[in-house]
C-alpha cells in the first residue's frame, strides 16, 4: 500500500475485522427482528413477554395479544405480522445511503453489517422460514397474500439493499493503488457478504436445523443482487482516509465475537428437536406460544407446569 492512502476493503486486516464485526452484528439483528414484532404488538395494545430466536426457524416475539382475533385485524397486520420486514426494509435500504461514513473501519463495518444482515437475514432468510410458521403463513391465512409473493417481494427488496451496501463498501477500491477490476469488485461481496452468511448457514446446520431450499433461495437472491451489480461496475466513493485496523484491535474483538456466537448458538439451538423460547413476562390466555415449543422462564413463577400447553395459537 502506498503511504498515506486509505486501507482497501480487501486488505487482510479489514476482512478479519469485518468477519469479527459480522459475528456480533448478525445475531443482534436476528434479535431485533423479533423485537420489532414485540414492540409493534405492544403499541397495538398487547404485551411483549419474551422471544424465540431459533437460527433455522422464524424468530418470534412472544406476546400477549390484545384480543383473540388480533392476528386477523388491521392492527395485527401492521403491529404483528409486518414490523420485522418493515424494519429490515428501512435499515437495509436507508442506512447505506443516508448514514454518514465513519472515520474508522470498525464503525463503518458495523454500520454496513447492520444493513447487510437486515437484507440477508431480515428479507432473504426469515421471510422464507415464515412459510412454515411466521408472517408469510399468517398473511396468506388471514389476508390472502400468497406466501411466495411475500417471500419473493422481500428477497427483491433485500437484493436492492445488499447492492447499496456493497456499492458503498466497494467504492473505496478506487482510492487504492490496485486497479478496480471485476474480480476485486466481486471479491468484496464474497469476503464481506458471503463469508458471514457461510458462518451463519454452517452454524444453523451444525445445530441440527434443516431449513429447506426456499430460505437458501431467498438469501441466494439477496446476495446475487449485489454480485450482479458489482459485476458490472461500482461508482467512485468519497475519499475517506481509514487507516488499517490495528492487530491489537482485531485480537480484542475476536474473543467478544466468539462469545456472541456461542450465545447465539445456545439460544438458537433446538431442544429435543423443538424450538426454544425465553420468557420475562407472564403469558395470558391470548399469548402466541406454540404448544410444541420448549419455554424457559427467565424469572421464577412465570409459567406453571403445563401452562404453555394451553397457550392460544393464532
Q: Evaluate whether 37 touches 50 at the Cβ level (below 8 Å).
A: no
Q: Work out the percent of the chain whose per-residue pLDDT is above 70.
A: 89
Give the pLDDT confidence of 206-265 residue by residue, as tens digits: 999 999 999 999 999 999 988 888 777 776 655 566 777 888 999 999 999 999 999 999
135-160: b or e for each residue (b if 16 or more CB lie within 10 Å)?
Answer: bbbbbbebeebebeebbbebbebbbb
Instruction: For the beta carbon of residue 245, count every other beta carbon within 10 angstroms.
Output: 21
Helices (H), the chain: 12-43, 74-76, 83-98, 105-119, 126-133, 135-143, 147-170, 182-189, 195-206, 213-232, 247-268
Select from 273, 215, 275 the least CA-distant residue to 51.
Answer: 275
Give the pLDDT confidence of 148-188 residue by residue, as tens digits: 999 999 999 999 999 999 988 887 776 666 667 778 888 89
28-47: b or e for each residue (b if 16 or more CB lie within 10 Å)?
Answer: ebbebbbbbbbbbbbebebb
**Mean predicted lDDT score pLDDT of the chain:** 89
What distance in Å separates the CA atoms of residue 163 and residue 185, rounded to the nearest whole number?
12
What distance in Å separates the CA atoms of residue 14 and residue 25, rounded to the nearest whole number?
16
Select from 54, 61, 17 the least CA-distant residue to 36.
Answer: 61
What distance in Å separates the CA atoms of residue 265 and residue 260, rounded to the nearest whole number?
9
Give the pLDDT confidence of 264-280 residue by residue, as tens digits: 999 999 988 899 999 99
Q: Evaluate whether 311 touches 68 at the Cβ level (below 8 Å).
A: no
Average pLDDT over residues 87-100: 95
Q: Evaluate whether 31 touches 123 at the Cβ level (below 8 Å).
A: no
Amino acid at each position: 500500500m502506498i503511504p498515506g492512502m486509505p486501507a482497501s476493503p480487501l486488505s487482510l486486516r479489514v476482512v478479519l475485522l469485518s468477519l469479527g464485526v459480522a459475528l456480533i452484528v448478525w445475531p443482534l439483528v436476528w434479535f431485533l427482528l423479533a423485537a420489532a414484532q414485540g414492540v409493534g404488538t405492544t403499541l397495538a395494545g398487547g404485551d411483549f413477554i419474551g422471544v424465540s430466536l431459533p437460527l433455522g426457524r422464524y424468530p418470534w416475539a412472544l406476546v400477549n395479544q390484545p384480543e383473540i382475533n388480533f392476528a386477523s385485524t388491521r392492527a395485527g397486520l401492521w403491529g404483528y405480522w409486518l414490523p420485522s420486514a418493515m424494519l429490515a426494509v428501512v435499515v437495509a435500504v436507508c442506512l447505506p445511503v443516508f448514514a454518514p461514513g465513519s472515520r474508522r473501519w470498525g464503525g463503518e463495518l458495523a454500520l454496513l453489517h447492520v444493513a447487510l444482515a437486515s437484507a440477508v437475514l431480515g428479507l432473504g432468510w426469515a421471510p422464507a422460514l415464515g412459510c412454515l410458521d411466521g408472517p408469510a403463513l399468517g398473511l396468506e391465512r388471514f389476508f390472502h397474500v400468497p406466501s411466495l409473493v411475500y417471500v419473493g417481494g422481500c428477497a427483491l427488496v433485500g437484493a436492492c439493499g445488499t447492492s447499496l451496501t456493497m456499492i458503498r463498501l466497494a467504492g473505496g477500491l478506487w482510492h487504492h493503488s490496485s486497479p478496480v477490476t471485476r474480480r476485486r469488485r466481486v471479491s468484496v461481496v464474497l469476503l464481506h457478504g458471503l463469508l458471514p452468511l457461510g458462518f451463519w448457514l454452517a452454524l444453523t446446520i451444525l445445530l441440527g436445523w434443516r431449513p429447506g431450499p426456499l430460505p437458501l433461495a431467498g438469501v441466494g437472491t439477496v446476495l446475487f443482487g449485489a454480485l450482479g451489480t458489482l459485476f458490472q461496475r461500482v461508482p467512485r466513493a468519497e475519499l475517506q482516509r481509514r487507516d488499517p485496523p490495528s492487530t491489537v484491535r482485531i485480537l480484542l474483538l475476536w474473543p467478544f465475537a466468539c462469545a456472541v456466537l456461542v450465545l447465539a448458538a445456545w439460544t438458537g439451538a433446538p431442544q429435543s428437536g423443538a424450538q426454544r423460547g425465553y420468557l420475562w413476562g407472564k403469558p395470558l390466555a391470548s399469548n402466541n406460544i406454540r404448544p410444541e415449543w420448549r419455554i424457559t422462564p427467565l424469572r421464577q413463577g412465570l409459567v406453571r407446569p403445563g401452562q404453555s400447553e394451553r397457550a392460544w395459537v393464532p
